[in-house]
Structure 1
Amino acid sequence: MLRDVFDEDAELYDRARPGYPPALVEALITCAGRSPAGNVLEVGPGTGQLTVPLARAGLRITAVELGPSLAAVTRRNLRPFPDARVEVAAFEEWSPPPGRRFELAVCATAFHWIDPAVRVPAMTAALAPGGTFALVTTHHVAGGSAAFFERAQRCYERWDPDTPPDLRLSEETTVTSDITELADSERLGPVEIQRFPQEITYTTAAYLDVLRTYSNHRALPAPVLSGLLDCITELIENRHGGTITKRYLHELITARRVAPGA
């Protein structure tokens, strides 16, 4: 499955994938409760981009990761935090220990990889009444080095024939996450959305590393990926002075689990 490709190079994933804005992390810490009793379930932690700052805040974390190589790196990153642990499993096949419930169940930039028939019911069932179901979505939006991204489109059109012509990054104001699954759940209360933009400046090498972690890039035939990355390298080095800035929009989508019979 395509979701398995992330485990092929866990060290690259750990090095290249960006973390989340501090304000977003702070909002999640508030959801979980600031006392050490705050129990957090994280689904699909990758190599701990969100897990580590949550653990640093003193929360007790159980992270469920599909990829054994990713999980190994996450465990290494969590060594200073004895209250955080990682279990290797497909979330569709995982269940919490009997009687264990969480104040926060969160999935960051991985929800779309989980079976739609399972993901909302299983994450919700793991919550204590009043606990928070949280999703973090990541959108690639217009901004930063806008001219670079327009020019880079021509590299994609040249090397990947499946690229839609004249594809452009969306403006933030037009981006919305689909909240239908959460809104339709009888076990969840009203859905709230908070937005957290961030811009990251990359050197050529760092940006190529990010691209190599994307599943659609990893799925390209080796000669196609090589040609694409060479084209982007030439563009950054010769037209943009060796660095570019990319803008991300993260949405924090939350809903409280309602008590039975409420």
Structure 2
Amino acid sequence: MYGHAGAVADNLRSIFDEDADLYDRSRPDYPPALFADLVNITGIGAGSTVVEIGPGTGQATRGLLATGAAITAVEIGANMARRLQTNLPDVRVVNAAFEDWTPPAAADLVTSFTAWHWVDRKVRARLVHQVLCAGGHLATVTTSHVRGGSVEFFDRAQESYLRWDPATDPDERLLPPDDIPPTTDEIDTSELFGPGVRRRYVRDIDYTADTYLDVLRTYSNHRAWPEDVRNGLLSELRSLINDDYGGVITKTYLHELRIAPALSASGGGRPPAC
């Protein structure tokens, strides 16, 4: 059972499922260099088994599938799961919350791309550890919005957020990638996992007014706003992009990959080998 805060978080976790088609066409994929590092560090490839938590409609799943590994994707949203299965029929798609899922077999790698924060932190380390083979790894990817690209536009956009969303921090500004500290959590201190290896990837993506507003519509906080607030903000941003920036802006993203090896632990319930 979730308390009030948990219920709110759980509702936001499933809010993406409202428009799987929008999510599918709007959310970006991940840099090829990230998957190359994932393969080099973990050794996954043909014959490996991978579990992906929160795959959405396959933004990272395509890169995982290209490694030759067998992929099981555990997706909480029914619409997202259906769209993912249509997109990638070679992937085994499970429509369930990871916390409620019983894996049929162990895996060499458990991954979560920009979705790890949605998994219940009270149980996720233990559950992932139980899924992994001996010598397996947990790989998580966090995505941060950072300063770069069309810097002036994003400074001005912040003024729009202040007008439309009273909860916006007036002092909040995007930070340069080098000023973003590593993402840490209980995995980094868990007796179930060894020290994590981290890699970072910075990239720019160009957006028209339409494509940028579409990606904003996929963000959980934007979707949770009252419709008049959301539409008012997006209309203001559309005018700003089209009138002052020639209809195109550039957004900079920072992806951080963390790969942590599973350690042997008495009573961990993890198979000795796959």
* Residue number among 197, 210, 213 corresponding to 1:192 in the alignment: 197
Matches within 5 A, 1:117-136: 117-136=122-141
Query: Among residues 106, 113, 116, which one is paired with 1:111 in the alignment?
Result: 116
Give, in whole Å, the separation in 2 of the partners of 1:104 and 1:75: 20
Please state whether the residue corresponding to 1:254 is helix, strand or coil.
strand
Shift of 1:52: 1.3
Equivalent residue number for residue 86 of structure 1: 93
1:139 aligns with 2:144: yes
Equivalent position of 1:173 in the other structure: 178
Matches of 2:32 and 2:199 in 1, distance apart? 13
1:27 Cα shift?
A: 1.8
Long gaps (5+) in structure 2: 1-10, 267-274
From the superposition, tell whether residues 38 and 31 of structure 1 become closer, same or farther in structure 2 (CA, over 3 Å): farther
Structure 1 residue matching 2:23: 3-state secondary structure? helix
What is the percentage of aligned positions where both structures have the same residue?
A: 48
CA distance in 1, matches of 2:117, 2:265: 28
- 2:258 counterpart letter in structure 1: I
Change (3 A) 1:130 1:34: closer
SS at 1:197's partner residue? strand
Indicate yes or no: 2:29 matched with 1:22: no
Q: State the secondary structure of the residue aligned to 1:201.
A: strand
Give a deviation string over 1:23-48, Cα, whole Å, max 9, x none: 00222233453542110010000111
- Is the CA contact 1:25–1:50 (under 8 Å) kept in the aligned structure 2? no
Instruction: Work out the CA distance in 2 between the residues paired with 1:146 and 1:76.
Output: 38
State the TM-score, normalizing by the size of structure 2: 0.90
Alignment partners' CA distance in 2, 1:112 and 1:168:
22
Number of equivalent positions:
256
**Letter of the aligned partner of 2:55 in structure 1?**
P
* Aligned residue number for residue 8 of structure 2: none
CA distance in 2, matches of 1:199, 1:143: 8
The corresponding residue for 1:5 is 15
Deviation of 1:57 after TM superposition, in Å, equals: 2.6
SS at match of 1:37: coil
Structure 1 position 198, deviation (Å): 1.0
User: CA offsets, 1:102-141, max 9 Å, x none?
Assistant: 1110011011111111111111211111111110000000
- 1:1-262 equivalences under 5 Å are 1-79=11-89, 82=90, 84-97=91-104, 100-260=105-265
Give the 3-state SS of the residue equivalent to 2:246 in structure 1: coil
Q: Secondary structure at the match of 2:29?
A: coil
Distance (whole Å) between structure 2 residues aligned to residue 31 and residue 45 of structure 1 = 21
Write out per-residue CA displacement over residues 4-63 of structure 1, whole angstroms, 9 at most, x where no aligned residue.
Answer: 110000000000000001100222233453542110010000111011121123110011
Q: Is the 8 A contact 1:29 1:54 kept in 2?
A: no
1:85 & 1:32 partners in 2: Cα distance? 21
* Amino acid aligned to 2:194: G
Which letter does structure 2 place at the counterpart of 1:195?
A: R
TM-score, length basis structure 1: 0.94
Distance 2:190 2:231 in 1: 44
- Unaligned 5+ segments in structure 1 are none
Q: Note closer, same or farther for the CA distance 1:243–1:232 as it changes in structure 2 (3 Å cut).
A: same
SS at match of 2:200: strand
| Partner-residue secondary structure (3-state), 1:124 | helix
- C-alpha RMSD of matched pairs (Å): 1.3
